[in-house]
Amino acid sequence: MGIPDITEESLRSFPKVLLHDHLDGGLRPETIIEIAHHTNYLSLPSNEAKELEAWMLSTADQGKLELYLEAFTHTIAVMQSEETLFRVAEECVHDLNDDGIIYAEVRFAPELFREKGLTLDEVIAAVLQGFESGMRDREIIVKGILCAMRSSDRSTEIAEAAISFMDKGVVGFDIAGPEIDFPPRIHRQAFEIAHRNNLPITIHAGEAAGPEYIEEALTICHASRIGHGTSAREKILDNGQAITSYGIATELVERGIALEVCPTSNIHTGIADSLHSHPVNTFLDAGLTVTINTDNRLMSSTSLTNELFQCCNAFDWTWEEITSVTLNAVENAFLNQGERDKLAKRLNSWKRANGLLTEGSK
């Protein structure tokens, strides 16, 4: 069999790994409408699926993170019971599986889903049970990352809850929400709790804020991955002939810290004007550990297949770049080495079957 052309179809069949995806940013429009009807939620901008999907995208695509986050009002509103959380989580797994994803870490902020009296534990358990149900009879693995809202004061409580669910499907801890004025150090105590209990940490940093937020995340908050991290571009010089990193960008390279890059989302929030001006390719050229992610599949009308396909079109990526960023995701997944090795074997099996790996390779 010859090496396949890079198309959306071939990329969908390619075994992908997703590290940065928000549960409340990936609902099916039909599900939102149905739950809203059953729960008497009357504030949806449309009760027609295609119109609602278009509204979500137009609201998100206004060039500011604060406006982007407004669309979540409606998804959060329909995720306020154990039944709806279970359903949304289960459908999330099905949708990721249909996109050819073999492993995903899906994050959510449990404090957002307590408006009708659910406890943190009830929220977390419902989501994890939904993941478990969604994985049944499918070859995808989905784990959870708990987020504390950076504008809230509940981060230590969320970190402790995450620790209590480590043996039930939670693999990491994060902070999310508006970044400006809420640097990582505000939640240092929560990160210390997670770190002491060997719970891996990823931190949204350098998305809307500058590289100093990335530095804080790494130097005092124990982050082993960075969500977005686009402002690291400020510490990379490219004169057209050579690329030189300095400051925090050099530390990212030297420590092999993975960046959870979300290109389409970054365009919608105004971080980049277009994919061509997005720093993802500069990061690769500078030697940073890049992974490609969706962030919010509904709001950005995207999938991991689409993210990779758009990068191929914008930067002339080949299967070499595609497999490289995917292997980066495998190697930086919050799993033990044996589990990561199994994912790598699935990736290599596909490569071998499609002429991208010789028989003598592992």
Closest CA to 308 of 333, 335, 280, 283: 280
As a whole number of angstroms, the distance between CA 308 and CA 302 comes to 10
As a whole number of angstroms, the distance between CA 54 and CA 248 comes to 38
pLDDT value for 359: 59
91-126 in b/e form (b: 16+ CB < 10 A) is bbbebbbebbbbbbbbbbbbbbbeeeebebebbbbb
Q: Which residues of the chain have pLDDT under 70?
A: 1, 358-362
pLDDT value for 33: 99
Q: Which stretches within 40-136 are classed as H helix?
A: 49-60, 65-68, 72-77, 82-98, 120-135
Give 300-325 pLDDT, tens digit per residue: 999 999 999 999 999 999 999 999 99
pLDDT value for 68: 81
**Residue 222, by phi and psi: left (phi above 0), alpha (psi -120 to 50) or beta?**
left
Give 92-108 pLDDT, tens digit per residue: 999 999 999 999 999 99
Instruction: Name the DSSP class of 153.
Output: S
Annotated catalytic, 207? yes
As a whole number of angstroms, the distance between CA 264 and CA 306 comes to 9
pLDDT value for 249: 96
pLDDT value for 64: 81
Q: Which of 207, 216, 260, 321 is catalytic?
A: 207
pLDDT value for 304: 99
Q: Are 303 and 341 in contact (CB under 8 A)?
A: no
pTM listed for this prediction: 0.96
pLDDT value for 360: 53
Closest CA to 44 of 77, 13, 68: 77
pLDDT value for 66: 78
For residue 298, the Cα-to-chain-centroid distance in whole angstroms is 13
pLDDT value for 358: 67
Domains annotated on the chain, with CATH? 9-347 (3.20.20.140)
The three-class DSSP label of residue 104 is strand
